[in-house]
Structure 1
Amino acid sequence: MSSSNTESFEAENVTAYDYYDSYDYGPRPCSKESVRRFAASFLPVLYTLVFLVGLMGNILVIVVLFKYKRLKSMTDVYLLNLAISDLLFVLSLPFWSYFTIDQWVFGTLWCKIISWIYLVGFYSGIFFIMLMSIDRYLAIVRAVFSLKARTTFRGLITSLVVWLVALSASVPELVFRESVDERNYTTCKLRYTGNFTTWKLFATLEINVLGLLIPFIIMAFCYSMIIKTLVQCRNEKKNKAVKMIFVVMILFFFFWTPYNIVIFLQLLEVMGIIGNCQLSRNLDYAFQVTEILGLFHCCLNPVIYFFMGEKFKKYLKMLFKNWPLPGDICKWCGVHMAYHSESTSSFHTQSTGDQDAL
């Protein structure tokens, strides 16, 4: 690869907010100014939408889990951590929204922290969805073993391990991410020491393998065994329990697989396999679309819990009735919130029938 091409690629990165780095002002081997204008015109609005919906939805999930579920099962622990992972995404969006409109004005420290938060949320989110699939596998396929294995304590331990892995995998963001002034424009980008292509290869494969390939293999095994078990022994409660987690898994891959494909194609661009300027611009446009697609995923889990989880709907109605303003709005709208309080003993139930993920 020529030195000029290397320069044009060195500003790129594998995380979902770095396309700004390669759209610097001034002459380039392949001009990306149109892509930059495209990003500034629509990303701030979409970022704001994702931020508001994701923030409110996941906070509601966390409140319901603490107030009514009391984290008495492994499933509850994983759902809580998944909501926290989604919040990590949305909390970084105001920074990136401002960045698309103007430039990076928050300094190197916040450049490192915000970039790191995003990647930690990405890894932890897929890991907890993977753990929820394993949890369903144990509850349905290995029901007897699950009575001892699926405890709250083990859920906390495995959650701690997941966070440690996610934090470790995201360390390069803390080490190499910097706020850099280029042509009177400040960006937040990676500045690798040593061979840029090698680091780019490592970072892309890390996301593809840890964020897609390994979880897909584990989830495919778990759900193939679950389907096999359910075909042999039909159970309505088990079917409802699997349905919600299965939708969570499918939606994750629908929203994040395109992003993984695009960053892999961008790796081929860095390696010189893809050298066409128009194709490079098309990849940048695709990167923006798949980024937003992936970020919208953090808003979906609360919606899934509400529409597919009967218990969550009941708890949410209880929560809104106890809050003065939402309760008054519901009464004004004529919404009838009839519910029956659940006995305390139900929080301690560990049977597969009652662990229907809210």
Structure 2
Amino acid sequence: MGVANQTCESSKQLSDRFYVTAFSIIFLFGLLFNSLALVFFFRFTKIRSQTTVYMKNLACTDLLLVGSLPVRILFYVSRRQFPWRLCELTGLVFLVNMYGSIFFLTCISLDRCVAICFPMKSRLNSLRGRAKWISAGVWLLVVGASIPPYLVIPKSDNETGACPLCFDKKPSYVTNPATVAATLLVGYGIPLATILVCSLSLLRAVRRSSATRMDYVDWRKIRNMVAANVVIFVVCFLPYHTVLLLYVTVRTPERELTLRASYRATIAVACLNAIFDPLAYYFATETFQKSVGVKALKNALTSNTDSAEGNNRSLSPQRAKLGHSARTIMT
């Protein structure tokens, strides 16, 4: 028994060091990257689009998560009993961030797809103009859907108001079969399918467009940017939802400890989106500035010099349209 206890204690200390390291890295880089992203979005007002509205909200959700990470770090460092409400509030912030990120990433993909694939659909374009209202609706949805777990769970196993397990306790509400079914369908399945369809449609439209053939848009860079967004979405959020599914399909007393450990690990993985999201902003903006802005200007000047005046008049509306499409893709 003594050897078994020592083994368990050693494993626990190792996992605690892992979580302290992981959450500390996410806190430092997430705070830095998202703060810089918000400064960029609000200071450089020349780059404006409906997509940047969603990016601003996405950065805010990431900063909200980053602000809650010191609580997790302190818990795994000290292993003290934390107030029950503090533990639950930190868990609530995690859910708001994860599903806020999922829906805002979905909105970004939809906005780009509609702008490029359906530029002449007035109803769809008028809907794009309501990005602020859509963002407000996303906030209401994710906050409203995340609150119920903390209204129905008993206060604590003791009467002191302290939670000795805090982030190590069993996730009872989120692993309820009915909750898992709704979460997998609405919270992850539909957004994932939407992002995949929008990404494929966008790539096809850009690949076949005149803007790509005229070198207004670097198709390979756009392809890499879209692929990066999909990879971030899958890598960060798929493990968490896979564990939720396993809780329903293979829940047994023998698997309980393994599932609980996997659940905690996937939370750390999901929190990585606070670092990856700003990197996606950076590459998108860099591509816009270097690939669209400079090349479009260079091509336009060259064409104006070499072409006849009549051809310039006939091609200028097309170039303006292509330039607008290019800017829409990248902003």
Provide the TM-score with structure 2 as the length reference: 0.73
One-letter amino acid of the structure 2 residue matched with residue 170 of structure 1: S
Separation in 2, partners of 1:181, 1:248: 42
Which runs of 5 or more structure 2 residues have no equivalent in the other structure? 1-6, 291-322
RMSD (CA atoms)? 3.6
CA drift of 1:302 comes to 1.6
- Check whether the contact 1:123–1:210 (CA below 8 A) recurs between aligned residues: no
> Paired residue for 1:268?
249
CA deviations on 1:217-261 (whole Å, 9 max, x unpaired) are: 211221232233234325243745564244222221122212211
- Cα gap change, 1:148/1:292 in structure 2, threshold over 3 Å: closer, same or farther? closer
SS class of match (2:328)? coil
| 2:232 is the counterpart of 1:295 | no
Alignment partner of 1:354 out of 307, 327, 331: 327
Pair 1:197–1:52, CA change in 2 (3 A): closer
- 1:153 is displaced (CA, Å) by 4.7
Alignment CA distance shift 1:211-1:242 (3 Å): farther
Q: Which residue of 157, 182, 186 corresponds with 2:164?
A: 186
Question: In structure 1, which of residues 218, 227, 230 is the aligned counterpart of residue 206 of structure 2?
Answer: 230
Distance 1:174 1:287, change over 3 A: closer
Mapped contact 1:76–1:357 kept (Cα < 8 A): no
The structural deviation recorded for 1:174 is 3.3
State the partner residue of 1:86.
Answer: 62
* Matching residue within 228, 231, 245 for 1:247: 228
- Tell me how far apart the structure 1 counterparts of residues 204 and 34 of structure 2 sit (CA, whole Å): 33
- Given the alignment, which residue of 42, 46, 52 partners 1:66? 42
- Structure 1 residues 32, 252: closer, same or farther in 2, change over 3 A? farther
- 1:339 maps to none
Picking from 237, 241, 265, the partner of 1:256 is: 237
Q: Structure 1 residues 303 and 178 mapped into 2: Cα distance closer, same or farther (>3 Å)?
A: farther
Question: SS of the counterpart of 2:217?
Answer: helix
Give me the whole-angstrom Cα distance separating, in 2, the residues matched to 1:157 and 1:311: 28
* Structure-2 change in CA distance of 1:106 and 1:87 (3 Å): same
Native 8 Å contact 1:269 1:280 kept in 2: no
Which SS does the other structure have where 1:354 is aligned?
A: helix
Residues 1:203 and 2:176 aligned together = no
Cα distance change on mapping 1:88 and 1:257 into 2, 3 Å? same
d(CA) in 2 for partners of 1:71, 1:203: 40
Give the SS at the match of 2:326.
coil
Q: Which AA in structure 2 matches 1:95?
A: V
Residue in structure 2 matching 1:122, options 98, 101, 108: 98
Aligned to 1:149: 125
> Shift of residue 199 of structure 1?
6.8
Contact 1:137 1:222 in 2 (8 A): yes
Q: CA deviation at 1:105?
A: 4.5
Counterpart residue identity of residue 214, structure 1 = I
| Residue aligning to 2:25 | 49
Which whole-Å deviations, capped at 9, do the CAs of 1:189-210 have from their partners, x for residues lacking one? Answer: 7899xxx689722333333223
Conserved? CA contact 2:82–2:163, under 8 Å: no
Give the AA of the match of 1:60: L
Give the deviation of 1:64 after TM superposition: 0.5
Question: By how many angstroms is 1:168 displaced?
Answer: 1.2
Judge which range, 87-96 or 55-64, deviates more.
Answer: 87-96
Shift of the 74–243 alpha-carbon distance from structure 1 to 2, 3 Å rule, reads farther
Q: Which has the larger radius of gyration?
A: 2
The answer for the alignment partner of 2:3 in structure 1 is none
In 1, the alpha carbon distance for the partners of 2:46 and 2:147 equals 33
1:29-44 equivalences under 5 Å are 36-44=12-20
Report deviation, 1:111. Answer: 2.8
Match of 2:74 in 1: 98
Residue-by-residue CA offset, 1:335-357 (whole Å, 9 max, x unaligned): xxxxxxxxxxxxxxx93221344
Counterpart AA for 2:328 = Q
Query: How far does residue 83 in structure 1 lie from its aligned partner after superposition?
Result: 0.9
Go from structure 1 to structure 2 and tell me whether the alpha carbon gap of 1:69 and 1:210 turns closer, same or farther (over 3 Å shift).
farther
CA deviations over 1:310-350 (Å, ceiling 9, x no partner) = 27889xxxxxxxxxxxxxxxxxxxxxxxxxxxxxxxxxxx9
Count how many residue pairs are aligned between Structure 1 and Structure 2.
Answer: 288
Matched, 1:163 2:139: yes
